[in-house]
Chains A and B, each alone.
Chain A
Amino acid sequence: DIQLTQSPSLLSASVGDRVTITCRASQDTSTYLAWYQQKPGQAPKRLIYGASTLQSGVPSRFSGSGSGTEFTLTISSLQPEDFATYYCQQLNSYPRTFGGGTKVEI
């Protein structure tokens, strides 16, 4: 199985901050990686797929980059509604696996 390690697991930030979350894969996943946002009591919501393609309707302050084994999710200017937990997911092979999550808190 491909293991995904996210860092940090907890990120304290303020509105307006630039935030970067890293996802490292135990094997090459090319660009077959997605990012999800989850708020308490809600299902995860896809933000980015193909490592860098923004889901329709997602604000442009979100961006993704990377390939191979290292990926990043960046929020250019953190907004109040962005405080949530973020997960990466690899799509290179089965079983599909997720990172452990990064909680972004105030």
Chain B
Amino acid sequence: QVQLQESGPGLVKPSETLSLTCTVSGGSISSHFWSWVRQTPGKGLEWIGYIYSNGNTDHNPSLKNRVTISMDTSRNQFSLRLTSVTAADTAVYYCVRHYAGDRGSFDYWGQGTLVIVSS
């Protein structure tokens, strides 16, 4: 059974960088696409970006170029960095796995981690 677990600071100051890591167990990160998704009461569910096992990435243009997603195959982890955060980046952040079929719906989700942006 694949499991995903987010980790990282729950509080980030405005203008600083949000950094989260997703640890994958029960399966290798060296396959599938992996994404970050966030959820806010106001904007609902928002896809942030993905990384593929070959290192290719893409991100939501709405986040401008503030997003970096990377992976560490030796640790079976992938990570999110979001720079220049504001209060609007306060959200629950989820890491997810893309299903290998159907163009990649999200078949496994982490439990989510709340990140608050505040001074």
Q: Which residues of A contact B (CB under 8 A)?
A: 32, 34, 36, 42-46, 49-50, 53, 55, 87, 89, 91-92, 94-101
Given known A-B contacts A97-B47, A98-B44, A101-B44, A89 and B105 have beta carbons under 8 A apart:
yes
Q: Kindly state the separation between the CA atoms of A95 and B104 in the bound complex, as whole angstroms.
A: 12
Main secondary structure of the interface of B (DSSP, over half): mixed
Shortest C-beta distance, B98 to chain A (Å), equals 9
Assess the B62–A49 pair: CB atoms within 8 A. Answer: no
- How many interface residues does B have (CB within 8 Å)? 22
| A-binding residues in B (CB < 8 A) | 35, 44-47, 58, 60-62, 94, 99, 101-107, 109-112
Further pairs besides A53-B102, A89-B105: 4, Cβ < 8 Å: A44-B45, A49-B102, A97-B47, A98-B44
- In the docked arrangement, what's the CA distance between A100 and B41, Å? 10
Q: Are A49 and B109 in contact (CB under 8 A)?
A: no
Closest to A30 in B: B103
